[in-house]
Structure 1
Amino acid sequence: MGIRDKFKFDLSKTEDKLKLFILVSGALLFIVVAAITGISLTMSPEFCKLCHNAMQPEYVTWKVSSHSNIRCVDCHMERGVVNILIEKMMAVGHLVDYIEGGYKEHQPIKMKHELEDHFCTRCHSVSNRNFTLSGDLIVPHELHGKRGVKCVDCHSGVAHGNIVARKVSVGDVSKWTIEDGKKNMAKQFTQPDMDVCVECHMNPAKFGVQGVKSVTFRCEACHKSIFTPKNHSDKGWTSQGLHGLSAQSGDKEFKGCVMCHSIGVKTEKIATGNKVKDFAWGNQFCSSCHAKLPPSHAQRDVWMPNHKKVVATKGMKNCEACHSLKAPEGKVSAPAGLYCNKCHWFK
């Protein structure tokens, strides 16, 4: 009796029907178990690393991160059988890229889209979780979420240290070690600094916040033990330039400005010879306001003929907060592009 004869079934016989049922059921069970086992294996971080050798930096940074117990797919794959099957079919293309060396042509490897908040809120509930913030910080996560601020706007470095944004995951990335991972997961790469806070408070629309033009800069809004000085509440402190006069009144006052307004703020080295002006022009906190057109300047045809009266009253120091006297030299430029000697001939 040949092999074919063994698999011939007479469906008129109960015995053969049972044999066929057992055979088909066994085959289907084997396929299901094999598929589940295969999918489970391919969803482990170790498997991702084996196939995506080009993603060694992502693997070692994740390995030393606070999310090292969370699988890659928990943050990078939607849940559900259909989504898993779609991802596995797309993975065939990744395999082709890997074999053909396509990844080397697209370094650093970037995600096609940002992580949506629901990946984070699976574990981190902003409504009922007590957040362990460092220092004296106050961060109302739920309020930020309602305003449209995404988790990754502040926490993009939590799992991989922003290695793509910093463009360090290029070249022969297969040589990255755990030590490289630790270096690139230092605090300055993983935790949001004040630059992010200040930039968003200055320009909320850039971060997707709708219906809000600006956010408070009062210290006590974000800090429990740092309070806004009393003179900052004086009428005209900002609008009439009293803050600038205070900064120029002496070293003690100026040091106070530097102490608070240089922490976590992007700065540029400016060398005009005036330390107050250099600080104000090169500090994002100051220059972002100085670059905005004041209400008094709005009607150009009215302001230009009358600005000399303001200069006579307040002096030119008020102008130099935003404008340079002479044409900008090299990379040194004032927050406002128009300079005095474009029309005048000051020495």
Structure 2
Amino acid sequence: MAFWGREKKKETDPELIEEEKNIGLLKRLWQKVRNIDWKDPVTRWKMMFISLMALIVVGGGGYGVLAMTNSPTFCASCHEMAPEYSTFTASAHNNITCVQCHIKPGTINMLTHKMKSMKEVYYHVTGVPNQIVQTEHEAVSNENCLQCHSKNRIVTASGDLKVNHKKHIEKDIPCITCHAGVVHAKIAARGINTEEVRGDYTKETAQKIMEKKYMAPNMGTCIDCHDKVNNGEEPWKDITYSIPPNPEEMEKKLQINEKKAEAKETLITGEAIASDHDEKTQKLILEAIGKQKKNVKISMACGNCHKSTSIPNNHKVANWNNNHGVTAVAELDKCMECHQDSKWKRDIPKEDIITLLKMGNEKRKYTPNITLAKEESRINKFCAACHSDRPDNHGNSDQWLTAHASKAKTSDQKAQCFICHDQKKPKADSPETLAPTDVYCQYCHRTGFKDDIKN
């Protein structure tokens, strides 16, 4: 008895033997299958046994492959993922797997993602992109976050921010719009996960990169989104608003925009874009501190989002606006905790990882420096929101010109003047920060000051 059905007598005819030799392998296998006696109960049991074993082997192997590729260790096996894996291990989410965030729940989603991930194998073999960024098709969804987190929260874990998570989620606002840095500290947006620095990443160095300001929600993002809502927009509808920009796609868009601008002969310069952005930032700052109000859907006032906004006692003294310069020089580091421009901007500046690794995220002690304070008052948009206005005590220009000498006798008094004015005419190629006014002392005092007091 053969394994499948009855055993047939062997053919002894030489011609038949030769003919069988000429038959292809697939055809011979098909003939054997056709010769199986499927009516035999034993044959059917054998088929069921073999099918079961094959299912166990294939299923077990497939599960093993899925389990292996779902492991963070598997992600770490590719050198291009070193920045992402290192920051993951240094984050508060290091007790879950990568796929719990990056693949939507469900077997179908899991298998679909595995098929799509074959392109990553292709890139690994043929050439890895200079920078790894999330695409709109791979963005972390709210469905992933809600596996662990509740949406019924009004106050954040810090206890200060008032954020109605439920209302945001009901509007289909992605969690990553605010929480994009919770695991990887926005290394893609900061430009510190490129090919040339991947070898610098370890678990220890990642600790220096995981700064709180990049892991926590960015206030500039809240302001930018609220401002767009006040203008009738819903920016989160485009998922690219919530994920880091892809450098390659940004370069293509820039080239397209340049061609369009050239065709219209109205090329918009980078300076014009920056000027428009600065003007918008100052408008928002003035609104937040209550100096500019308008009918809006979402108020920009600090108290709208912050549970407690304690104003320092020294800010409440009389004439603080005109006399805070001395405090600014002495405690500039404290001033910047609230008034730093980066807190008001959504865009994240590019960084140098080598400098970050050397300096770390340790807070450096500030030494009072009048030059640094002066520069900050000129370039900081929060300061410039008021400093760009002509002071009240300057009065009428003609009267002020003949009377301001008594206000600038000592070095301290001159130091206040130099916040807005330069002593000498700035050179065209000067690296110094330009003053907010083109009026400088030596325009009139061409021989210097009588008492020869220098800044």
TM-score by length of 2: 0.51
Deviation at 1:220, TM superposition (A): 8.3
Task: Report the alpha carbon displacement of residue 138 of structure 1 after superposing the two structures with TM.
Answer: 2.9
Number of the residue aligned with 2:161 = 138
Distance 2:400 2:236 in 1: 39
How far apart are residue 58 of structure 1 and its match?
0.9
- How many angstroms apart in 1 are the aligned matches of 2:178 and 2:98? 20
Deviation for aligned residue 1:216: 3.4
Q: Deviations over 1:90-123 (max 9, x none)?
A: 22221121112x21xx222111134333332322
Cα deviation 1:33-57 (Å, max 9, x = unaligned): 221221121111111111x321111
Match among 52, 72, 79 for residue 98 of structure 2: 72
Deviation at 1:173, TM superposition (A): 1.5
Q: Does 1:87 align with 2:113?
A: yes
Residue 215 of structure 1: aligned partner: 299
Give distance in 2, aligned partners of 1:203 and 1:82: 36
Aligned-partner Cα distance in 1 for 2:2–2:41: 22
Deviations along 1:218-271, one digit per CA (max 9) or x if unpaired, are: 458515361488999xxxxxxxxxx9x85235656878997886324227xxxx
Q: Which residue of 1 aligns with 2:183?
A: 159
CA 1:124 to 1:290, structure 2 compared with 1: closer, same or farther past 3 Å? farther
Q: Does 1:179 align with 2:204?
A: yes
Coordinate RMSD, CA, aligned: 5.0
Q: Retained in 2: the 8 A contact 1:248–1:276?
A: no
Question: How far is the alpha carbon of 1:151 from its aligned partner?
Answer: 3.2
1:1-347 correspondence runs (5 A): 9-50=36-77, 52-100=78-126, 102-103=127-128, 106-113=129-136, 114-128=139-153, 131-133=156-158, 137-142=160-165, 150-170=174-194, 171=196, 173-174=198-199, 176-192=201-217, 208=235, 215-218=299-302, 222-224=306-308, 226-227=310-311, 247-249=321-323, 251=325, 262-264=336-338, 265-266=340-341, 281-287=378-384, 332=433
Equivalent position amino acid for 2:53 in 1? G
Question: Which structure is larger by alpha-carbon Rg, 1 or 2?
Answer: 2
Residue 166 of structure 1, CA deviation? 1.8
The CA distance in 2 between the partners of 1:55 and 1:81, in whole Å, is 25
Q: Which residue of 2 aligns with 1:320?
A: none
How far is 1:168 from its partner?
Answer: 1.8
Q: Give the whole-Å Cα distance in 1 for the aligned partners of 2:154 and 2:307.
A: 20
Secondary structure in 1 matching 2:48: helix
**Aligned residue type for 1:157:** G
Give the TM-score normalised by the residue count of structure 1: 0.64
Distance 1:98 1:146 in 2: 39
3-state SS of 2:60 partner: helix
- CA-CA distance at 1:74 after TM superposition: 0.9
Alignment partners' CA distance in 1, 2:381 and 2:174: 23
Tell me, yes or no, if the aligned pair for 2:103 and 2:140 is still in contact at 8 Å. Answer: no
What are structure 2's unaligned runs of at least 5 residues? Answer: 8-32, 238-294, 343-369, 389-394, 402-419, 445-455
Unaligned runs of 5+ in 1: 233-242, 268-272, 292-309, 317-322
User: Given residue 166 of structure 1, which amino acid in structure 2 is its aligned partner?
Assistant: R
Contact 1:220-1:228 within 8 A present in 2 as well:
no
CA contact (8 A) 2:37 2:43 kept: yes
Letter matched to residue 121 of structure 2: L
Identity %: 22
Shift of 1:18: 1.3
Deviation string, structure 1 residues 261-282 (Cα, Å, up to 9, x no partner): 6324227xxxxx9999865542
Q: 1:212 to 1:98 in 2, by over 3 A?
A: farther
SS at match of 1:164: helix
Which amino acid in structure 2 is aligned with residue 127 of structure 1?
N
The letter of the residue matching 1:85 is: L
In 2, Cα distance between equivalents of 1:261 and 1:201 = 25
SS of the equivalent of 1:248 reads helix
- The AA in structure 2 aligned to 1:46 is T
Rounded to whole Å, the distance in 2 between the matches of 1:81 and 1:159 is 24
CA contact (8 A) 2:87 2:206 kept: yes
C-alpha distance 215-155 of structure 1, shift in aligned 2 (>3 A)? same
Find the aligned partners of 2:303 and 2:314 in 1 and give their Cα distance. 12
Total equivalences in the alignment: 302
Larger displacement relative to structure 2 (325-334 or 246-255): 325-334
Query: Does the aligned pair in 2 maintain the 1:195–1:266 contact within 8 Å?
Result: no
Contact 1:75 1:119 (C-alpha < 8 Å) held by counterparts: yes
Q: Which moved more, 1:76-85 or 1:197-206?
A: 197-206
| 228 and 217 in structure 1: CA distance in 2 versus 1, 3 angstrom threshold | farther
